[in-house]
Structure 1
Amino acid sequence: MQSLSGKKIAILATHGFEQSELEVPLNDLRDAGAQVHVVSLEEGQIKGWDESDWGRAVPVDVTLSDASAADYDALVLPGGQINPDLLRVEEKALDFVKAFWTDKKVVAAICHAPWLLAEAGIAKGRKLTSYKSIRTDMINAGAEWHDAEVVTDQGLITSRNPGDLKAFVAKIAEEINEGRHERRAA
């Protein structure tokens, strides 16, 4: 994977994130030299979901109320069913996601996390993928849905499921190193 030395990345999550979808990007991006912060609604820890039951807790580095997209080069949105569903009703979370997009920074979402892209108005007119159970939601949000491991569209990276994590993280590194992305109207 490409070096991310000097880069700062936010991972926005709350309780119920899919364990591997937060931990693998967190660890791999840190191993590549990035400073990575877990951003959440509350201080302390958030608890993951590990396949069929509650998983391990992860420490929160920055609360959403103290976070600014201006401080980061990219945003990662882990999935799971619970996490993005809780976040997509939080106006501050949607504003945080929109700020990255507006600033032409990399936004990466996996599995069910494209729900946040739809709610933030980012999915419309964009090529993306997601977990198959939310395919219709993405199409209804105006996205051009693809059944592919990883889909990239002008700095928007999506992946369909946790089996694709290494390719997903490698694409995040590649897109961050390309810098800000021009965004043509959808």
Structure 2
Amino acid sequence: MADVPSRDGVLSGRKIAILAESDFYEPEIAYYRRRFAEEGAQVDLVTRMWGNESITFTGHEHRAPLTVTRSLEDLDDRRLREYGALIVPSGMVADRLRYTEDLERLAPATDLLRRAFARSGVLKGIICHGMWLASSIPYVVRGRKVVCHNNLLGDVRNMGANYVDQDVVVDGDLVTGRTGDHCHLFARTIIDELVLRGV
């Protein structure tokens, strides 16, 4: 799917980063790209590039291709501050991105999430299995209200988060969603929170 050009809207001039990897949930990613662009936001898909100029991933349901050209490792603190929101989507994206070859260091995507949590100006959106990416940094969700896929209920409780049985949960600068099928509610909440925060 070609990028949807942004137009003037409530998110005009804002940027949203969405993490990407293989086994993504195609309807979710397609929805975000269109919905956020409808509100005027620039939507950037970012991933670990492994030295490549571009990587084409395949979706989980239909094996649809998704080409990414932006490196999450290029998002230093200055560039990270340019984003109003960082989204960890559903599917196997978080599981793939939490891989680290050096067991003494956080995976680059997990470190990016850690740095985003250190900045209240960046809205964090984590949906469904996306909570896996925070498993190595449980302190970022400890004591916070979250929802996740039912399969991760034990994980979030072990991380010290407070599970709330709702489709979308907002706790300050953190928005969580139950499953990829709730992406429309999740995206609507992200939009509303960005407008409310004036980020």
TM-score of the two chains, using structure 1 as the length reference: 0.87
User: Aligned partners of 1:180 and 1:144: how far apart in 2?
Assistant: 27
1:140 matched to which residue of 2? 158
User: Which of 25, 31, 41 lines up with 1:24 in the alignment?
Assistant: 31
2:115 matched to which residue of 1? 99
Of all paired residues, the percent bearing the same amino acid is 30
Distance 1:93 1:166, change over 3 A: same
Give the number of the structure whose residues are more often strand, by fraction. 1
Between Structure 1 and Structure 2, whose CA radius of gyration is higher? 2
Is there any run of 5+ residues in structure 2 with no aligned partner, and where? 1-8, 101-106
2:183 matched to 1:165? yes
Matched position secondary structure for 1:15: coil
2:21 matched to 1:14? yes
2:104 matched to which residue of 1? none
User: Which of 73, 78, 84 lines up with 2:94 in the alignment?
Assistant: 84
Aligned residues: 176
- CA deviations on 1:130-182 (whole Å, 9 max, x unpaired) are 0101111110110101121100100211111123121110100111123379x
TM-score of the two chains, using structure 2 as the length reference: 0.82
Could you tell which deviates more after superposition, 64-73 or 138-147?
Answer: 64-73
Could you tell which deviates more after superposition, 152-161 or 57-66?
Answer: 57-66
Q: What is the root-mean-square deviation in Å for CA atoms of aligned residues?
A: 1.8
Distance 1:23 1:120, change over 3 A: farther
2:197 matched to which residue of 1? 179
2:126 matched to which residue of 1? 109
User: Which of 58, 63, 71 lines up with 2:66 in the alignment?
Assistant: 58
Contact 2:17 2:85 (8 Å CA) reproduced: yes
Contact 2:85 2:123 (8 Å CA) reproduced: yes
- CA deviations on 1:63-95 (whole Å, 9 max, x unpaired) are 122234123111011111x22111123421011
Note the 1:123-138 alignment, pairs <5 A: 123-138=141-156
User: Aligned partners of 2:74 and 2:94: how far apart in 1?
Assistant: 20
Displaced runs of 4+ in structure 1, greater than 3 A? none
User: Aligned partners of 1:109 and 1:83: how far apart in 2?
Assistant: 11
Q: Which amino acid aligns with 2:93?
A: N
1:40 matched to which residue of 2? 47
Contact 2:146 2:163 (8 Å CA) reproduced: yes
Is there any run of 5+ residues in structure 1 with no aligned partner, and where? 182-186
Contact 2:28 2:181 (8 Å CA) reproduced: no
User: Aligned partners of 2:90 and 2:151: how far apart in 1?
Assistant: 12
User: Aligned partners of 2:44 and 2:160: how far apart in 1?
Assistant: 31
Q: Which amino acid aligns with 1:100?
A: A
1:184 matched to which residue of 2? none
